[in-house]
Structure formats: structure tokens, C-alpha cells
């Protein structure tokens, strides 16, 4: 099943996406059951919004692809960090770069959205707690991560306003370890990987996190990025393509 959050006139709704048509439903599907309202719209006639704008938290996997390690050694356990809700934007919304951010990179990622309360789950059962998956761009200001103006924590490097594009859809019933991911800047491929390359699988990461932090419906796991992440600048367009999930595109502007 494929879902979208969308706006038509002044009304914001969720819907089921089917061959270019959006069938309106009366509830956020992440949070529980729903019914069709009887209304449907052509996808081209609505604005597709950030599919999950208000999670209680997002955790992002650092160093989860061998190709992204550089000279650093591989972690011995999942290494998640938090990304704040203020960073989240939807398809087509501009990524706005602060004037003092220095080098900023885009990171193409598969994002898992939790569907029910998750605590102390095993790796074998962890995916049963996932509602679905979407595309994410973990925008990252490298200067604030480890450059001349480095912070102790990644609070602004990863969570400045607009540094978390998400969408366009939430897709259910896919294998998160069997998906191709590509990232482009201005149509030029900058990243290409497969989720089977993850050092810690989606299920492993959820199981590990749930030992210490309870996950609630709508919470998200950003599963990590690969390779050398391409820089972005005002005037650029960033595109994330994830097999069987969708294409997320955002322009880049100066804040």
C-alpha cells in the first residue's frame, strides 16, 4: 500500500495513492484504522506534503555503510543520533542553507516509520513494528560536525531548519534490506547503494534502540547513507530515488 499526506485547497488529508489518483481517507494511517471518505483527486491537482511531520522523535544511523566510513573504523554496535522535528520538510519544499554553514552535503536514506509502541523487541520481530518506509535526505553541515567550527553535539549540523526533507509517500510491505538507493544533485548521480550493504540492518537497529528508548507510532529510523555525500549549494536541486518507494526532490536556497 502507498499513502500520501496532501493538501487540496485549505484541507490537509491522508490518502491512498493508486496510479496517479489519491483516494482520501479519514485518519492518519500510521495511527490506526481509517475509512475512505468517498472523495478522490488526481495527484497532479494536489500538493504532496511531508508524510510524517510530527514524530515524537527521529533517530538516524551514523556510519551504517562501509563505503561511508572513510578512514574511520566500523562501529561495533548501532550508533544512532537524534534529528529534530523542526528539520522536517516535504517534497518540493526548499532546503535553506544558513550563511555560516560552510560545506553542506545531502545524504540519501531509507526511513522506517514505526507503527506501534516498540520496547525490548527482538531483531526477528522488529519489522512487525514498522508501519512503512519513505525517502529521506539527512542534510548535513560538515563544518559543524568536524570542521573549524565544530560543535560537540550535531544539533545544528543535522537539525537546522529544513535539514530533513521527507517523502513523497509512505510505502508498506517491502523488504528494507533489498532496495536500491540513488542520490542526484542537478541530475548528476552522487550516491548509489543497496540497502543490503548496511552494517546494521533496519531490524537490528530497531531492536537495539528499543532496549533503551521506547519508540511510538510515527517515530522514525533513518537507516544511514553511503559513500561520499555530494555537496549542495543555493540554486541546486537534490533528488533522492529509492526503489519501490518513490522520488523525493527539493530545491536548495540560501536561508
Q: Above pLDDT 70, what percent of the chain?
A: 100
The pLDDT of residue 147 is 72
pLDDT tens for each residue of 84-121: 999 999 999 999 999 999 999 999 999 999 999 999 99
- Distance (Å, rounded) from C-alpha 171 to C-alpha 183? 19
Express each pLDDT in 18-64 by its tens digit. 999 999 999 999 999 999 999 999 999 999 999 999 999 999 999 99
Q: Report cis status (omega within 30 of 0) of the bond before 30.
A: no
Q: Which pLDDT does position 222 carry in this prediction?
A: 98
Q: Given pLDDT bands bounded at 50, 70 and 90, which one contains residue 146?
A: confident
Looking at every residue in the chain, the average pLDDT score rounds to 96
Spatial separation of the C-alpha atoms in residues 240 and 255, rounded to whole Å: 22
What's the pLDDT at 72? 75
Of the candidates 106, 91, 188, 192, which has an alpha carbon nearest to the alpha carbon of residue 141? 106
Tell me the pLDDT tens digit for each residue of 178-210: 999 999 999 999 999 999 999 999 999 999 999
**What confidence tens digit (pLDDT) does each residue in 8-19 have?**
999 999 999 999
Question: What's the average model confidence in pLDDT over 135-140?
Answer: 98
Where on the phi/psi map is residue 28: left (φ > 0), alpha (ψ -120 to 50), or beta?
beta
What's the pLDDT score for residue 71? 66
Query: Could you tell me the pLDDT band of residue 73, with boundaries at 50, 70 and 90?
Result: confident
User: Domain segments of the chain: what residues?
Assistant: 1-49, 50-254
At residue 233, the pLDDT reads 98
Can you give the pLDDT at residue 68?
82
User: Does domain 1-49 sit in CATH 1.10.150.300?
Assistant: no
Fold of 50-254: Fumarylacetoacetate hydrolase; domain 2 (3.90.850)
Amino acid at each position: 500500500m502507498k499513502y500520501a499526506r496532501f493538501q487540496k485547497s485549505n484541507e490537509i488529508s491522508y490518502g491512498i495513492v493508486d496510479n496517479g489518483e489519491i483516494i482520501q481517507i479519514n485518519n492518519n494511517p500510521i495511527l490506526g484504522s481509517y475509512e475512505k471518505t468517498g472523495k478522490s483527486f488526481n495527484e497532479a491537482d494536489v500538493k504532496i506534503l511531508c508524510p510524517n511531520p510530527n514524530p515524537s522523535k527521529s533517530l538516524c544511523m551514523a556510519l551504517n555503510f562501509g563505503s561511508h566510513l572513510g578512514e574511520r573504523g566500523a562501529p561495533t554496535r548501532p550508533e544512532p543520533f537524534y534529528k529534530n522535528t523542526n528539520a522536517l520538510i516535504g517534497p518540493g519544499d526548499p532546503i535553506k542553507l544558513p550563511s555560516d554553514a560552510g560545506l553542506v552535503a545531502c545524504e540519501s536514506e531509507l526511513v522506517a516509520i514505526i507503527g506501534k509502541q516498540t520496547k525490548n523487541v527482538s531483531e526477528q520481530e522488529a519489522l512487525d513494528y514498522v508501519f512503512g518506509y519513505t525517502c529521506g535526505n539527512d542534510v548535513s553541515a560538515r563544518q559543524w560536525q568536524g570542521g573549524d567550527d565544530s560543535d560537540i553535539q550535531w544539533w545544528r549540523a543535522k537539525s537546522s531548519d529544513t535539514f530533513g526533507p521527507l517523502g513523497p509517500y509512505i510505502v508498506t510491505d517491502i523488504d528494507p534490506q533489498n532496495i536500491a538507493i540513488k542520490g542526484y544533485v542537478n541530475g548528476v548521480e552522487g550516491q548509489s547503494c543497496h540497502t543490503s550493504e548496511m552494517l546494521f540492518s533496519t531490524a537490528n537497529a530497531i531492536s537495539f534502540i528499543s532496549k533503551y528508548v521506547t519508540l511510538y507510532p510515527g517515530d522514525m529510523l533513518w537507516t544511514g547513507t553511503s559513500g561520499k555525500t555530494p555537496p549542495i549549494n543555493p540554486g541546486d536541486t537534490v533528488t533522492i530515488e529509492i526503489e519501490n518507494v518513490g522520488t523525493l526532490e527539493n530545491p536548495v536556497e540560501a536561508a
